[in-house]
Amino acid sequence: MKTLNRDDILGASDIRKEKVKAWGGEVWVRGMTGAERDRFESSVIQFKGSSQNLNLSNIRAKLCALTICDESGTRLFNEADVQALGEKSAVELSKVFIVAQRLSGITDADVKELSEGLKENPFEDSASA
């Protein structure tokens, strides 16, 4: 097996996509990039004082907006569309959500790990004056 170098890794076409039957037709869904997944995960963490909570509000629409794309992989939705997308059928959103989760490598264990890590706000200064 070939040992990859920097150019091999950065030049690899590694974002998978597939068609999903939803809304009476077909839509393309692609996996997230590492940066997109980090932004997605940070968008579901809500800070309140020194504690953090998992904010699952509109989570399906958030993930779908990041992953529904055209055939070339260009996203069809942006953050401003999340609310409107969240008003669509839960059944149809779930069809896309499940595929987006799989293509992005998000497992139930990842969600559990994320929620278990919500103990204290890591950005709050804990030192007393």
Q: Report the C-alpha gap between 37 and 20 in whole angstroms.
A: 20
pTM: 0.80
pLDDT tens readout for residues 6-52: 999 999 999 999 999 999 999 999 999 999 999 998 888 877 777 77
Residue listed under structure tokens 């950005």:
123
**Encoded tokens for 15:** 């974002």
CATH number for the segment(s) 27-116: 3.30.2220
pLDDT score, position 55: 79
pLDDT score, position 129: 43
Q: Report the C-alpha gap between 38 and 48 in whole angstroms.
A: 20
pLDDT tens readout for residues 109-120: 776 676 665 554
Which has the closest alpha carbon to 86: 63, 67, 116? Answer: 63
Q: Report the C-alpha gap between 126 and 129 in whole angstroms.
A: 10
pLDDT score, position 77: 97
pLDDT score, position 117: 57
